[in-house]
Amino acid sequence: MVSCSLRSSLLLLLSTSAFAADKPCTLHDGDKYYDLSALKASKDYQFQTDGGHTFYLNVCRGVTTDPWNTGVDEKEGNIAGLVRRDHGDFAIGLVNTTLEAKEGGLMLRQSNGSPCTGLDSGLRGSSTIRFICDTSVYAAGKPVLLVQWPSDEDKACSYELEWRTHYACPTGEGGLFGGLIVFCMVTATILLMAFVVISTLYNRFVLRLSGYDQMPKFTFSHVHEIWDVCSDFLHSVLDLLIAQSRSWRSRGYGNVNSTSHHWTSREEEEAMIVSDPLEMEAESVHDATGGVSQGAHPHDGSGPPSEEGGDNGTVRL
Q: How does pLDDT run across 259-315, given as a tens digit for each residue?
A: 554 445 555 656 665 555 555 566 665 565 555 444 444 445 444 454 444 455 444
Q: Which of 3-12, 112-121, 195-204, 217-226 has the lowest mean pLDDT?
A: 3-12
Q: Please give the Cα distance from 75 to 94 (Å, whole number).
A: 11
**The pLDDT of residue 247:** 82
pLDDT at 136 over 60: yes
**The pLDDT of residue 317:** 41
pLDDT at 194 over 70: yes
pLDDT at 51 over 50: yes
Q: How far is CA 224 from the centre of its chain?
A: 39
CA distances from 114 to 46, 84, 121 (A): 19, 12, 13
DSSP string across 184-218:
HHHHHHHHHHHHHHHHHHIIIIIS---GGGGS---
pLDDT at 141 over 60: yes
Q: Please give the Cα distance from 10 to 29 (Å, whole number).
A: 19
Percentage with pLDDT > 90 across the chain: 43
pLDDT at 89 over 90: yes
Q: State the average pLDDT over residues 28-43.
A: 91
**The pLDDT of residue 308:** 46
Cβ contact 127:110 at 8 Å: yes
**The pLDDT of residue 190:** 95
**The pLDDT of residue 166:** 92
What backbone phi and psi angles, to 5 degrees, belong to 148?
A: -135, 145
The domain limits of the chain are: 26-172, 176-246
Q: State the average pLDDT over residues 131-158.
A: 92
User: Domain spanning 26-172: which superfamily?
Assistant: Mannose-6-phosphate receptor binding domain (2.70.130.10)
